[in-house]
């Protein structure tokens, strides 16, 4: 069963990282979300060195993203790269991004869904959901589903490899759970993302819960695309490990959390470049049999948390409620799910 003790966590952090196995991505299209800084930026640089036909930095801040793209070009010698606006705090922005991409770009080989936030204070998005649940889970799921048909169609192109969708999770999902009040609620996700439920005490563990949702969603989505020789997309989730990034820099983060995190960061954190190698590994390495539907960590596949392995009912509930909420935002989500259930995704 999947457990992660503090001692094992520290041992994992101290493992010698593998170098990136640079592949030739000529002719391929890669998207990295949340890529103007931190893990996403470092992953984008690794992909840039592999010379894809198109590399999209999907970010919410145009100015910061343009600066990041300039730095990426200078460091890698890659002349391409585009900045596309994507604000996962606004679900209409996710829909607009997907519509533009599906209209203007002919293929999608790699999608690394990295964008995420961490905050300990409740803040509602314009869509009315608690921001961490929306940005880290709902928006990530929406983007993945809306781009999935394009990825499936890519598999049918001459010479194409099986496209990959990699969702960035975290080992912190091992230490997360959902309380009895939430489990007994009629609407699990809506309750979790509500103001009434999201008090200060509960918000302290919200980031970890969002990463647990990532793992549940990845497994559900992959289960709707059983791996065969003709499987149109390989889907997995990845843990970059504790990295020295700006993720915990929210001004709302309590001082004691900042102090504890700073101490751990100083002692055992990886650089974001090292953490990004995990993202690239999950997006490019391992066989489909190994990594499809898997939780990837330390350049391999590991079992996720016990809660994930032992509660199939919760996984289905999270999937069903996620789809129900997202269909209200964009009806095309329902079309994609029906294709998945009918085994028609990627059929030409």
Whether 66 has a pLDDT exceeding 70, the answer reads yes
- State how far the Cα of 228 lies from the Cα of 336, in Å rounded to an integer: 19
pLDDT in tens, 143-195: 999 999 999 999 999 999 999 999 999 988 999 999 999 999 999 999 999 99
- pLDDT value at position 47? 98
pLDDT in tens, 206-249: 999 999 999 999 999 999 987 776 679 999 999 986 656 665 55
- State how far the Cα of 179 lies from the Cα of 176, in Å rounded to an integer: 10
> DSSP string of 64-111?
HHHHHHHHHHHHH-----EEEE--TTSHHHHHHHHHHHHHH-S---EE
63 labelled catalytic: no
- pLDDT value at position 1? 46
Percent of the chain with pLDDT over 90: 74
Residue 196: both structure tokens together = 């009434």
Whether 308 has a pLDDT exceeding 60, the answer reads yes
* Domains defined for the chain, CATH in brackets: 6-341 (3.40.50.720)
- State how far the Cα of 211 lies from the Cα of 45, in Å rounded to an integer: 24
- pLDDT value at position 147? 98
51 labelled catalytic: no
Residue 245: both structure tokens together = 């990034």
Among 45, 51, 211, 332, the active-site one is: 211
- pLDDT value at position 311? 74
Average of pLDDT values for 301-310? 92
Q: Choose the most confident range, by mean pLDDT, from 93-102, 242-251, 299-308.
A: 93-102
197 labelled catalytic: no
Among 78, 122, 207, 295, the active-site one is: 207
Whether 8 has a pLDDT exceeding 90, the answer reads no
End-to-end Cα, the chain, rounded Å: 40
- State how far the Cα of 178 lies from the Cα of 138, in Å rounded to an integer: 17
Using CA atoms, how far residue 90 sits from 58, 157, 167, 228, in Å, is 14, 33, 19, 36
| β-bridge pairing 54-59 and 300-302 | unpaired
- pTM (two decimals): 0.91
* Residue the block writes with tokens 């791996």: 227
- pLDDT value at position 16? 63
- State how far the Cα of 305 lies from the Cα of 317, in Å rounded to an integer: 17
- pLDDT value at position 257? 56
- State how far the Cα of 115 lies from the Cα of 87, in Å rounded to an integer: 9
**Residue 109: partners with Cβ closer than 8 Å, 6 or more residues away:** 25, 28, 29, 30, 52, 151, 154, 160, 161, 163, 164
Among 35, 131, 144, 169, the active-site one is: 169
Mean pLDDT of the chain: 90
């Amino acid at each position: 069963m999947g457990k992660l003790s503090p001692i094992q966590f520290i041992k994992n952090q101290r493992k010698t990282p593998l170098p990136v196995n640079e592949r030739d991505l000529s002719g391929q299209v890669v998207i990295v979300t949340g890529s103007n800084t931190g893990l996403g930026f470092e992953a984008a640089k690794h992909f840039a060195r592999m010379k894809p036909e198109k590399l999209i930095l999907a970010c919410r801040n145009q100015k910061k993203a343009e600066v990041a793209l300039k730095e990426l070009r200078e460091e890698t010698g890659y002349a391409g790269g585009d900045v596309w606006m994507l604000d996962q705090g606004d679900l209409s922005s996710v829909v607009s991004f997907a519509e533009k991409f599906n209209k203007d770009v002919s293929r999608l080989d790699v999608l690394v869904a990295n964008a995420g936030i961490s905050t300990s204070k409740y803040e509602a998005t314009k869509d009315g959901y608690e921001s961490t649940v929306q940005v880290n889970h709902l928006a990530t799921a929406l983007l993945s589903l809306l781009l999935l048909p394009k990825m499936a169609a890519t598999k049918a192109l001459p010479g194409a490899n099986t496209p990959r969708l990699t969702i960035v999770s975290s080992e912190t999902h091992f230490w997360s759970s959902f309380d009895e009040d939430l489990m007994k609620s009629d609407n699990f996700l809506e309750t979790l993302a509500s103001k009434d439920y999201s008090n200060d005490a509960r918000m302290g563990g919200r980031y970890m819960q969002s990463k647990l949702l990532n793992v549940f969603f990845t497994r559900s989505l992959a289960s709707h695309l059983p791996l065969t020789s003709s499987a149109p997309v390989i889907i997995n989730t990845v843990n970059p490990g504790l990295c020295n990034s700006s993720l915990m820099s929210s001004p709302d983060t309590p001082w004691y959390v900042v102090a504890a995190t700073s101490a751990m960061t100083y002692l055992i954190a990886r650089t974001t470049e090292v953490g990004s190698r995990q993202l690239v590994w999950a997006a490019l390495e391992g066989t489909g049999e190994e990594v499809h539907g898997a939780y990837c960590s330390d350049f391999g596949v590991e079992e996720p948390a016990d809660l994930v392995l032992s509660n199939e009912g919760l996984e289905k509930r999270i999937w069903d409620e996620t789809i129900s909420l997202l269909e209200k935002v964009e009806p095309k989500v329902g079309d994609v799910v029906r294709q998945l259930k009918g085994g028609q995704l990627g059929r030409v």
